[in-house]
Chain A
Amino acid sequence: MTTAEQTQSPPQPLINWRGLWQNIVQAALSVVLSLVVGGILLLLSGRNPLEAYESLYYGAFGTTDRFTETLVKATPLLLIAVSVSISFRCQYWNIGAEGQMILGSIFSVWVALNITGLPTLPHLALCFVAGALGGALWSLIAGVLKAYLQANEVITTSMLNYIAVYLLAYLVRGPMIDPGGFNFPQSRLIPDALELPRLVERTRLNASFIVALVAAALVLVFWRSTWGRRTEIVGASRRVAAHVGLNIPRTVLLVAGVSGALTGIAGWGEIFGLHFRLIEEIARGYGTLGIVVALLGGLNPVGMVISAFLFASLVVGGNAMERNANVPFALVDVIQGCVILLVLSRAYLFKRASSS
């Protein structure tokens, strides 16, 4: 197989046991190298990187509380990564997770606040469905434009992110503002009964964590279904897919819809498990994090569970680091960028390193 073909074919087979060990080693090396790059930046600015990273580590794992907080952060990351893995495997470059998460949050909160008289469980289920629907519909805007009008989805989904951010800003200041909230930009609280149960007492870890794990498991089922196989063929080569008579636009719509729904569910989980109301920061930063988690995890569910956990610890630890060691959280963003670029070039870099 030539190098050109390697880079053009979809990243890896779903679970490639032979390459798995190598992938893990290379992924780990990518993360370590990224941490080193971040450390060098800190060193150059006259700070002590070891102190910073110690503070980061303690912030993420220091106590049981910190550890459950890491799992709390891992929840939306895993859901979004699963969403990203589906679209990226189809070579449909949906980078609109932030917008889709926002729309999922808006839809689910609207249902929670405006539909009354339902028993708790059906009501909660309806909120869940609304969240998935909101994300899916927002994602399908770009999907339809791609499938039938060839509009580049990277641009449309990124534009839709900005539009969603302003839409949310409008809603929490206007039509959905909390009347008793002293004009603070947020919605009313959802009814207490709809709050997701906690998994560990006195922590924020809640049932949405289970939902994320189930989604990661279900995606395995998806890839083994007819639809999953079609998606994979369309991703591998549009030409082959057309040749064997697959409906490419319809596959793109499916992928856009499913990935949007998963991201919408991430929004639902954040609201019903953590914030209990719409706030402006509901999705901030999650879009890029989800992409990094998906790529570092090799777009396969097991890898993504591990990398979601890793990046959740970086986020939780990074916040603690900013508070305690006065090192900007943006260090974590730099590490994200480095990880993507290293993961992408690893075939080239590490092949060189091992052959010389």
Chain B
Amino acid sequence: MNWDLVTYSFVVGVLASAVRWATPILFAALGEVFTERSGILNLGLEGIMLMGALSGFVGAYNTGSLWAGVLVAAATGMVMGLLMAFVSVTAKANQVVAGLGITILGGGLSTLLFRLFFGLRSKPPTIKTFGTEPIPLLSEIPVLGRMFFSHNVMVYLAFVLVGVGWFVLYRTRYGLALRAVGERPEAVDTRGLNVTRLRYSALMIGGAMAGIGGAYLPLANLGLFWTQMTAGRGFIAVAVVVFSRWDPVRALVGALVFGGAAALQTALQTLEAPIPSELLLMMPYIVTIIVLVGVSRRAEFPSAFAVPYSRGEG
């Protein structure tokens, strides 16, 4: 193992890379906090992220604008969320299986559309990604500056959305209604609020966020799209939501834990640690299981979680 590489700058670099690894998961987890608060479990995040990655890439590739890519990804994610809403809220299907269906559909559709758009090429199509834009002053704080304030704009967008998400959830009437509908849908219904519409909106928010999270990979990180490129991040985001106890700020912490595991794994590869790379690559997944186990016993799910609502059958 090459310890000489471990300098101050290297360590801070690893911490900063943890934040970048965390960002796509954070987007998806923030949206899923809203979805699960409304009483719906959306296990389709993985498929929605893949559709976001594909559509974000295609959008940016065709318009030449990365922000257009982000918007297309959000819209695509929203449509996927709408589909999940139809199956789980309107058709009242089992949400676990519906989520798997969305994941399988998203995986297949993103691969198929990529092939239909670009065909088989010897060199894959690429786009130029969001560049690093350090925030003046803040980025000069020791350690924290490079860790949090020397990134691409999508990372900052995720931070801002943590605050926005917290505000909407705890300080607006909509947030109150959303939290109520996950606990006592019948009470919300008798107050004259539309349970179905609230849950649809939550799934569309969750879908849009997962779409943006997926788009982060091609637009801000890799400049490429490939089949199944999200590699389980959608499922990891669901685990982050359990860790967060359905709170946007704690979701940031949770996402950083997984980002940290991923960053450590790449750092160990760089340091030529005497561990085969295949085993290092397992690390984020093992950490996910360990953390999930750690928090699951204490987790208090919304009372009406994963239960379809039908009027007058309480």
Residues in A lying within 8 Å of B, measured CB to CB: 2-4, 7-8, 41, 45, 88, 93, 95, 145, 149-152, 154-156, 158-160, 162-163, 166-167, 169-170, 173-174, 288, 291-292, 295, 328, 330-338, 340-341, 344-345, 347-349
Contact = CB atoms under 8 A, between A and B. Distances in A.
A336 B104 contact: yes
A288 B278 CA distance: 23
A145 B289 CA distance: 9
A48 B232 CA distance: 34
B292 interface: yes
12 contacts: A7-B94, A7-B308, A41-B112, A145-B293, A155-B288, A159-B288, A162-B232, A288-B104, A328-B116, A330-B108, A334-B105, A337-B108
Given A173-B278, A337-B109, A151 B296 contact: yes
B91 A348 contact: yes
Interface stretch (B95-103, B130-138, B147-155, B157-165): B95-103
A345 B93 contact: yes
A152 B296 contact: yes
Contact of A330 (B91, B112, B238): B112
Given A152-B296, A291-B100, A167 B289 contact: no
A331 B108 CA distance: 7
A291 B102 CA distance: 13
Which DSSP category, helix, strand, loop or mixed, fits chain A's interface?
Answer: helix
Nearest to A171: B278
Interface in B240-293: 242, 276, 278-279, 281-282, 285-286, 288-289, 292-293
Contacts of A344: 87, 91, 93-94, 97-98, 101
B108 A159 contact: no
B221 interface: no
Given A162-B232, A348-B90, 10 more contacts: A4-B92, A41-B112, A155-B238, A330-B108, A333-B109, A334-B109, A341-B101, A344-B91, A344-B101, A345-B93
A94 B256 CA distance: 27
9 tightest A-B CB contacts, nearest first: A337-B105, A333-B108, A340-B101, A345-B91, A170-B278, A344-B93, A348-B91, A330-B112, A330-B111
Contacts of A295: 97
Interface residues of B, number: 56
Interface string B38-60: 00000100010000000000000
B261 to A, nearest CB: 12
Contacts of A156: 289, 292
B296 A149 contact: yes
B285 A163 contact: yes
B4 interface: no
Nearest to A168: B278
Nearest to A11: B94
B83 interface: yes
B239 interface: yes
A334 B112 contact: yes
A345 B313 contact: no
A331 B297 CA distance: 41
Given A334-B109, A337-B102, A337-B105, A150 B299 contact: yes
Residue of B102, B109, B242, B307 with most partner-chain A CB within 10 A: B109
A295 B112 CA distance: 23
Contacts of B93: 7, 344-345, 348
A341 B86 CA distance: 10
Interface string B220-250: 0000000100011001101100100000000
Nearest to B96: A93
B207 interface: no
A151 B90 contact: no
B77 interface: no
B214 interface: no
B107 interface: yes
B310 interface: yes
Nearest to B310: A4
A92 to B, nearest CB: 10
A5 B69 CA distance: 42
A7 B105 CA distance: 22
A288 B313 CA distance: 35
A341 B102 contact: yes
Contact of A333 (B86, B97, B107, B282): B107
Given A151-B292, A154-B43, A174-B276, A336 B108 contact: yes
B115 interface: yes
A88 B297 CA distance: 23
B249 to A, nearest CB: 22
B31 interface: no
Nearest to A294: B97
B106 interface: yes
Nearest to B108: A333
A337 B105 CA distance: 4
